[in-house]
Structure formats: structure tokens, C-alpha cells
Amino acid sequence: MRRFTAALFLLGLGVMIAAIYQHMDFSNTAVNAGQAINAVAAEETGAANFVTSVVLAYRGIDTLLELTILFTAAMIGGMVLGRRRVDAPRDPDAGFILRTGADLLFPLLLVVGLYIILHGHLTPGGGFQGGVILASAFFLPLLARPGSSINQDVISIVEGLAGATFIIIGLLAMFDGKEFLTPLLDKGELGALISAGTLPILYLAVGIKVGSELAGLLAHLAEAEALD
Amino acid sequence: MNLLVLMIALPLLTAFLLSSINRISTLAARWIGPLVLLATAVIGLSVWPQLGAAPLALQWGGFQAPLGITLYADQFALLFALAMTIGTLLLWPRSAENQLRSSSLALLLAGTGSGLALSGDLFNIYVFYELMTVVSYGLIAGRGTSGSFASTLRYLVISGFGAALALAGIALVYQATGTLNLAQLAQLAPEKLNNLQGFAAFVLMLIGFGVKAELFPVNMWVPEVYATASSRVSALLAGVVSKLALLIIMRLLILVFHQPEALTVLLVLGILGVASGELAAWRARDLNRMLAFSSIGQLGVMFIALSIPGNAGIFAALAVMVHHLFLKPSMFLLAERWGGSIEKLAGAARTSPIAAALFVLLALSLIGVPPLPGFWAKLLVIMPMLALDQPLYYLAVFVMLAAASLEANYLFRVVMKLYDKQPAATSHKVHATADLATALFLGGGLIAAVFMLVPLADRLDSIAAQATDVSTYIQTVAPQQLQSGRVQ
Amino acid sequence: MDILDINIILYSAAFGLMLIGIGGIVISNHLIRIIFGIALLEAGANLLLLLSTYHEGASAPIIVDGSVPAMMADPVPQALVLTAIVIGVGILALALSLAIRVQRAYGTLDMREVRLKLEQEISENAGIEMPSSSHAPAVTTANSAAAQQESGS
Amino acid sequence: MEAVVLVVVIVMLLSAVAVMLFKDFLAALAAMSVVSLGLSFLFVVVRAPDVAMTEAAIGAGLSSLLFALALRRLGLWRSQ
């Protein structure tokens, strides 16, 4: 019975999609907000990567909320999985190769992550991609040395402060008489590393926040066996 | 003037900083949350009078309308933003284990709820909605029992499914119109979205946003969650959060989707919601689940009201929403100590006479007994439907009347038990003072509304009229025409 | 319709992923598979969003060396998908954490069994005797006792 | 170009079906990574390098790691 209703549901969905196919204008040349942004973004934000302009300037509030979602998810993940017991059994040691590899990779990942974050307004990449790399940089030692652990208190304070930075930069604009989250500072020369005003600073906050939250989540999941 | 932004930004900022503040002073961390919400409520109330004359549009980041994200405040939106803020303040979740965490979640809920009500951008609404969903997971699972984890997981599966569908709906809208700004969508909708693609987008978004609004096919989570979460969280979710989801659907319906089929879908799903909800409530044997199912029925009535074309439908839906906004949290708070089997309620009126009396009044209003507000709200839904003179609407009226008699049946079963002469073997717990006071405040406010029905109805009517005024919406936001960058 | 039209191929990929994902959610009972299904559904929706303004021949919306290309892809859906992907991974982590806890409490990841045990636990906490409580094994009582204690405090 | 995209799409959809059909969760997880990688290729095709990077880092990398950790804790690590 259940299978039957499921099949019926899928069939209906398939018919709907087929109908949409029939009527959809694939080569739709509708004028859209994105093309208007392309026309003015370089001038208005000073970032060479327009996706970064949209993420941090035009739709900055979306990004703030997205960070808040990660923050909340990390907080709830910690709550659901609980803390590690002191006497919980450890995983077996990871062995020489993984340990040395982790030691060698850690600085490399850190540098690559920061590079990607700081060039987010110029090239593809930015706070999210770089943040993931930062998270893996901090998670890798955890895999290599099962005895070590990430200090969750530090993480929660770091992520809180990084998120607060984002909001406070936004509030500064309000004290300046502009709207909340308006980019500030000099826009500089298009394509230069130090340009686009506050956008790189915002992306740095995003990167640190994403990195610390994902590292926290990964550490929680890795240690979940030991919770009480 | 752009202080309205603080209604969203301040709670978020405080939530981020709460764990740092806790390092410095535990006392400050305990009190800063309620204080911030009080401040944002004052900000909202101070803006309220001037919105009556003209709604207000702000641009996040100061970018011109279709490019940046719009925040649109009319009295309709601000009413629910305030309901969220004040509701969270009244129903401040308490947790013995980790007050810090539940305070953060409460602040996030208040900030997001306000933002959701005030947002004027389709994708921004989606992100706010997702954040509100994640925060509710935290509030439900915060109980820490195995049941709360399991119900959160089932809720998460349904929500995740719905959210992805809503995203697909947004993709279809953007494909057709090239904009996400609601004002500009309202301009373009008659030309670009009045087709099958627009209808598909509506259905997808209805399923997505309907999850929280307890829409008929995607409401399996309701009884489990309300039975396992703490009463204050249930009160918040059933009372305020579901209304915010409904507000999004109303906005979409008013501004973007004008197909008659959309109204039919709402009507059918509403009827099914009323029928299934009330039948299940009638069969329920414990108070929490009974209230949960009856909430599905009430939300169904709101969907039926929305399906009435024109201003009358929005007005009726608004009246039912405001009625439910006060009634349901109050009932859930009363159920806090009475929760559990109805059989065990016998004689509870003797230990807590005030609570029992309040419950009776609320039950009468929920059923719709004449002088009480619930009656007038239901009348506002039924009258325009009779005037429409269509078979499906007659069916809706019939289902609503049948549902009222079912409601009367099961609620009186509870009331009879409360005033049972034979006391049960178990001793009843008295309500906590804070819970009872809040319940009395909300319920008392509702009953007091009987004495000023006419001015209240006028006020709600003007709010509904402002909400349905599409041309004012477009003029206030004033999106610049999308020009130049035309491709090919 | 030419089968090799790139629009058709890409849209088929998006709708295909969504259909497979929905099928997995609706037909499957195992929680992990349902979570996989949600991930697939999200991936399809993301692709659909990105395709909404796709044009053959547009270049990436990035200015390299100061030269502005003739036609650039729409940056808005790209930013939206970026947001949606990150939201998705947050919710995925949450779902997996909850799944770990649920399995520990109920000893199963089968959706139907979880639902049965949940119903049973709710009824037990409410003090209702279930007429058909024989076929499902008892829930861990430690948790239900904790719940009662909490509501009584 | 179209032919390459067509092949990638077919492989991706087959892997997506495989995710749902494989009894072994590890194999399903591997298939899921294939879907993510195919998806990030498609993102490159539609001129979205930022999204492609994110999908590769988060979809193929981080999500798989999350799944792997969770599967290990759930005792589904080995084939059943």
C-alpha cells in the first residue's frame, strides 16, 4: 500500500515535471537582476569577483543568516552529541605515516585556506571554500592523534566573535548614517589585493567562522562514541 | 528610522556574543537576552503608529531595490514581528541543564521571526525560514529526552524535504522573471508567472513553507513534536512560528500568485486539514496531542480563509490568526502541568480553580460560542464563503461546522474530567506561577477583546487592507526598471 | 527537441536528481538512506537554481586583468547556490548527529520502528496504557523517567 | 562539449540511483561522492567556478567526511 502511494506520488511528480518541460522557455533571455548587478558591481563594490560582491554586499544579510544557521547547527550538534567522557576509550593510534603527514599538511592547509579566503574578492573562492580547508586543517591532527581534542569552549567563543564582527561592521555603517551592512572603506583599485573596502575583512570573518564551526561539528561527530 | 533593522540585528548579535558574555558575568548573560528583546519590542512599538499612514521599505546595505535585499514593513508584517518578539519574551524557554544555550536559541528565534515577517525578498525569506527551522530543532531537542531527539529527527526529514522543494520553486520563479524582489515579482507576475510554471512554483513553495504552517500533507511532525517538546516551546511553535509561515504564504498569494487554481489547492488542503486534524484530536487520549491535532484543524481553517478571493479572505484569515495567536500558547501553558492522559485529569479543577476556569473560557472561544472572539473569527470566514455560492465552498462551510461540533465534543470531555466529582488517585500538580500568569495574561487579553470587538475589527480590517494593497507595495519599494544588461 | 541540446541535458540532470532524491525519501525506510535522498534532492534543486539563467557562451562573472567580458553569467543564482550548499551541510551534520542519538536510544534506524517506539514513549509518558504494546519492545525507561522528572520539577 | 556533458550527466544519474540501491552504505557513500564530483563538473560547465569549488570542497569532501564519521559511529561502516 505504502509502495503504491509512493509510486503514485512519483508518477504525479513526473507528469508535473514533464508538463513544465513542455512549457519552459529554456533559452529565456529575461532581463534579470544579475545582469544589472554585472553592469554596476565593479563600480559599486570594487570587487573583481562579482559572486563575492553579491554574497557579501548585495545579499550580505543572506550570508549573515547562513553563518547563523551554521552557528546554530554547530551549537545544537554539540548539545545533541554531548561532551566526551573523561574515561571514554580512545581510538587506536593512527601510526607514523598519518601523524607525520598531518604535521606536514597542517601549515600547508592553513596557508592555502587563508590564501583562498583573502583572494575571495579577486578569484573564485572565498570564505566558505577557504573555511572548509581551515576546518580540515584543524581536524586532521585529531584523526592523527586520537588522544588530542579540540577545545570546544574556544571554538564557541571564536565563532561567536567572528559572527559578531560581521554584524558590528554592519552596525558601523549605520552609525555612519548609511544602511545596515553597507560596505565601508576605500574601494581601491579593481583587482588589487587590498581593495573592495570591507569585503575582504567580512570574508575573513566568514572564513574563520565557517572553519571553526565545521571543525567543531567534525570533532563532535568524531568523538560521538564516547559521549555519556 | 532604519532602527527597524535592529529588531533583527540586535538579537542575532547578542546570541553570538552570549557565550563570551557568560565568561565575564553569568548574571549579565542571564538577563541580557530578555532585556534585548524588550528593547527591540519597544523599537517595534515606536514604529507602529507611523506605519498606519504609509508602509516603509528599507534596503539592506543601501543597494537599489531589485539588486539588494528589501525589508518591507507594513502593519501586517510588524504585527507578527512584534508577536514573535513579545511572544518569545513571555514564553522565554527555561532549561535546567543549559540556560545559556536555550537563551541563545530564544534570541535567534525572535530575531529570525521578525526578519521573516519583514523580509521582502524571496530567497531571503527562504534563508530566514531555514534559520527558524534550525532554531526550532534546537528548542525541541533541548528537552534532552530520547523522544525529543526522535521527533526532531522526523521533523528534520520532513522540513529538509520541504525546504528543497521550496528552493526548486524559487528556481522556477527566478527562471521566469529574473528577479527575487517581491515588489518586482508583483509587477512581473501577471505577465510571466500566470502559467503552468508559475503554478508549479506555487505548489512547490506551498509544500515547502507549509511544513511549518502545519499544511495537510506535510504535518506528520505536529503531534509528535508538540507531545515531546516542552510546553513553552510547543506554545511558541504552535502559536507564533506557524503564523509566520502562514504569513509568507499570504504574501506570496497577494503579490505573486494569482491563479484561481492556487486558491482551489489551498481550499482543498485546508478542508482536508480541518477534517483530519479534528478527527485525530477527537480520538486523542492525552491533552498535548489533542491540542496539537486541534492546532492542525485551526490552521486548516486559516488555509480555507486564505482561499477566499479578495480582501475578505485576507481579513478573515488575519482574524483567525490573531485569535489563535493568543489562544493556543495559553492552552499549551495550561497543559504544561496537566499534560498526559485525560483520564488522570479528574478533579483537577479543585486544585487549580483559576486554571480550570480559564481553560473552559478558552475552549468555548475555540469552539466558537457566540459572545467570544472565536465565534466572530469563524463568522468572518463562513459569511464570505456562503456569499460565493460555489459547491466546494459550501463543503468547506459544512466541514467547519462539523469540526466545531467535534471540537465541542472533545473539549467538553476534558472539561467534564476537570470538574469531575470523583478525584483521581494521583494528586494534581499546581501550575507554576509564571506559567499561569502568562496564560492568564494571554487568555485574559483574548477574553477582554469581547468588549472592544468593533474597534479591533476595524483595526484588523485596515491592516488587511494595507497588506492587500499591491500598488502601494510596489510604489514603496520602487524597484528601478531592470535595464541594459540584456543578453543576446 | 534535439537530444544533444545542452539545456535539455542539464535540466534533465537537475530534475533527474530531484526525482531520484524524492523517490529515495518516499520509498526508503532507512534513515541514512532518507538523509542521502534529501542530499540528492538538494543537489538537484541547487543545479536547477543555477540553470535558471544559464546561457551558452557566457563567461564566469569575474573580471580578470581588468578586461570585462562581453557576456557574463548571472552572479545572483551562484551566490544563492553557495548559500544553499552551506545551509545544506549544516543541516546534514545536524541530521547525522540526531541519527546517532536516536540509534543509541531506540536501537534502530528504521523510520517505521522509530515512529512506533516514539508513539509508545509518548503514550507511556502521558500515562496511557497502549492496547497493543506487546509487539514492540519496551523503550529505555531511563529517558522517560527523566522526562517525567523534568515536567514535575 | 555536449557529448562530454551528456556522459557526465548519465554517470551522475546512475550513481544517484546507485546511492539508493546499494545495500552497503560505504559503497553508497562513494557513489554520493561521484554525484558531487559530477555536479561540480556541471557547475564549471555553467560558468560558476565559485560554486564548483564549494561543491567539491563541501559536497564531495566535507559531507563525505561527515557521513563517514557518522557511519562509523552508527556501526554501518562495514558492509552488511
Q: Which of residues 12-71 of C touch B (CB under 8 A)?
A: 18, 21-22, 25, 31, 34-35, 38, 41-42, 44-46, 48-49, 51-53, 55, 58, 71
DSSP character for D29? H
Q: Which of residues 80-119 of C touch B (CB under 8 A)?
A: 80, 83-84, 87, 90-91, 94-95, 98-99, 101-102, 105-106, 111, 114-115, 117-119
Q: Is residue C62 part of a domain?
A: no
Q: Is residue B189 part of a domain?
A: no
- Among A155-164, A192-201, B110-119, the range with the most confident prediction by mean pLDDT is B110-119
Residue that wins the pLDDT comparison between B342 and D11:
D11
- pLDDT over 70 (residue B254): yes
Determine, for residues C18 and B168 on separate chains, whether the beta-carbon distance falls below 8 Å: yes
Q: Can you give the pLDDT at residue C106?
A: 86
Q: Can you give the pLDDT at residue C132?
A: 47
At position B261, the amino acid (one-letter code) is: E
Q: Which of A86-90, A190-194, B369-373, B432-436 has the lowest mean pLDDT?
A: A86-90
Structural domain including C131 reads: 111-148
Q: Can you give the pLDDT at residue B109?
A: 93
What domain count does chain C have? 2
Determine, for residues A33 and C76 on separate chains, whether the beta-carbon distance falls below 8 Å: yes
Q: Is residue B303 part of a domain?
A: yes
Q: Which of B438-442, B481-485, C44-48, C77-81 has the lowest mean pLDDT?
A: B481-485
D contact chains, 3+ CB pairs < 8 A:
A, C
Find chain C residues with C-beta within 8 A of A54's C-beta.
Answer: 75-76, 78-79
Chain C within 8 Å of D37 (Cβ-Cβ)? no
Q: Which of D9, D16, D70 has its CB closest to that of C9?
A: D9
Q: Is residue C101 part of a domain?
A: yes
Chain B within 8 Å of A165 (Cβ-Cβ)? no
Find chain C residues with C-beta within 8 A of B287's C-beta.
Answer: 126
Residue-wise pLDDT for B263-278, tens only, equals 888 999 999 999 999 9
Q: Can you give the pLDDT at residue B205?
A: 92
Residue corresponding to grid cell 524535504: B161
Find chain A residues with C-beta within 8 A of B131's C-beta.
Answer: 65, 68-69, 72
* Mean pLDDT, rounded, of chain B: 85
- The pLDDT confidence band at residue C148, using thresholds 50, 70 and 90, is very low
Residue in chain C nearest A56 by alpha carbon? C79
Same domain, C48 and C115: no
- pLDDT over 80 (residue B365): yes
Hey, is B286 helix, strand or coil? Answer: strand
Closest approach of chain C CAs to the CA of D10, in angstroms? 8
The closest of A7, A157, A188 to A71, measured between CA atoms, is A157
Residue-wise pLDDT for B133-180, tens only, equals 999 999 998 888 888 899 999 999 999 999 999 999 999 888 888 888
Find chain A residues with C-beta within 8 A of C44's C-beta.
Answer: none
Residue-wise pLDDT for B178-220, tens only, equals 888 888 888 888 888 888 888 888 989 999 999 998 888 888 8
Q: Is residue C63 part of a domain?
A: no
Residue-wise pLDDT for A23-50, tens only, equals 666 665 556 777 777 777 777 777 778 8
Q: Is residue C116 part of a domain?
A: yes
User: What length is written for chain A?
Assistant: 228
For B231-250, b/e burial (b = at least 16 CB within 10 A) is: bbbbbbbbbbbbbbbbbbbb
Q: Average pLDDT for residues A115-138, to the nearest whole number?
A: 85
Given a contact cutoff of 8 angstroms between Cβ atoms, the answer to whether A93 and A148 are in contact is no
Global pTM?
0.91
Q: Which of B100-114, B116-130, B156-170, B351-365 has the lowest mean pLDDT?
A: B351-365
Backbone φ, ψ for residue B194 (5° rounding) = -85, 55
Q: Can you give the pLDDT at residue B132?
A: 93
Same domain, C93 and C34: yes
Structural domain including D39 reads: 2-74
Determine, for residues A49 and D66 on separate chains, whether the beta-carbon distance falls below 8 Å: no
At position B233, the amino acid (one-letter code) is: V
Find chain C residues with C-beta within 8 A of B337's C-beta.
Answer: 151
**B70, containing H or E segment:** strand B70-73
Same domain, C98 and C34: yes
Q: Average pLDDT for residues B379-395, to the nearest whole number?
A: 87
Q: Average pLDDT for residues C67-96, to the nearest whole number?
A: 87
| CA C54, chain centre distance (Å) | 26
Contacts of B184 (CB under 8 A, 6+ apart): B65, B66, B177, B474, B477, B479, B482
Q: Which of residues 22-41 of A touch C (CB under 8 A)?
A: 24, 26-30, 32-35, 37-38, 41
Distances (CA, A) of C37 to B164, C21, C22, C31, C34: 11, 4, 6, 10, 5
Q: Is residue C97 part of a domain?
A: yes
What domain count does chain B have? 1
Same domain, C39 and C1: yes
Determine, for residues B288 and C126 on separate chains, whether the beta-carbon distance falls below 8 Å: yes
Find chain B residues with C-beta within 8 A of C111's C-beta.
Answer: 154, 157
Given a contact cutoff of 8 angstroms between Cβ atoms, the answer to whether C54 and C10 are in contact is yes
Same domain, C50 and C80: yes
Q: Can you give the pLDDT at residue A57?
A: 82
- pLDDT over 80 (residue B440): yes
Q: Can you give the pLDDT at residue B390?
A: 86
- The pLDDT confidence band at residue C105, using thresholds 50, 70 and 90, is confident
Structural domain including B386 reads: 259-477
Determine, for residues D48 and C40 on separate chains, whether the beta-carbon distance falls below 8 Å: no
Chain D within 8 Å of A214 (Cβ-Cβ)? yes
Q: Is residue D79 part of a domain?
A: no
Determine, for residues A129 and D49 on separate chains, whether the beta-carbon distance falls below 8 Å: no
Q: Is residue D25 part of a domain?
A: yes
- The pLDDT confidence band at residue C140, using thresholds 50, 70 and 90, is very low
Q: Average pLDDT for residues B7-14, to the nearest whole number?
A: 88
Residue-wise pLDDT for C110-127, tens only, equals 888 888 888 888 888 777
- pLDDT over 50 (residue B398): yes
- pLDDT over 60 (residue A200): yes
Q: Can you give the pLDDT at residue B128?
A: 94
Q: Is residue D43 part of a domain?
A: yes
Q: Which of B98, B130, B197 has its CB closest to that of A20?
A: B197
Find chain A residues with C-beta within 8 A of C73's C-beta.
Answer: 34
Burial class (CB in 10 A: 0-12, 13-18, 19+), A163: buried
* Optimal mutation site among A2, A59, A169, interface B, most CBs of chain B within 10 A: A59
Hey, is A191 helix, strand or coil? Answer: coil
Backbone φ, ψ for residue B59 (5° rounding) = -115, 120
Residue in chain C nearest A69 by alpha carbon? C87
Q: Average pLDDT for residues B408-427, to the nearest whole number?
A: 76
Same domain, C80 and C144: no
Q: How many CB pairs under 8 A join A and C?
A: 133
Q: Average pLDDT for residues A84-102, to the nearest whole number?
A: 69
Same domain, C131 and C105: no
Same domain, C78 and C100: yes
DSSP-assigned letters across all residues of B195-242: SHHHHHHHHHHHHHHHTTTT-GGG-THHHHHHHHS-HHHHHHIIIIIH
Determine, for residues A125 and D69 on separate chains, whether the beta-carbon distance falls below 8 Å: no
Find chain A residues with C-beta within 8 A of C70's C-beta.
Answer: none
Residue in chain C nearest B290 by alpha carbon? C126
- pLDDT over 70 (residue A187): no
- pLDDT over 80 (residue C63): no
What domain count does chain D have? 1
Q: Can you give the pLDDT at residue B187?
A: 85
DSSP character for B59? E
Q: Can you give the pLDDT at residue B372?
A: 84
CA–CA dist B59, A179 (Å, integer)? 7
Chain D within 8 Å of C5 (Cβ-Cβ)? yes
DSSP character for D1? -
Chains D and B touch (3+ CB pairs under 8 A): no
Q: Which of A188-192, B124-128, C48-52 has the lowest mean pLDDT?
A: A188-192
Q: Can you give the pLDDT at residue B487?
A: 37
Percent of chain A with pLDDT over 70: 78
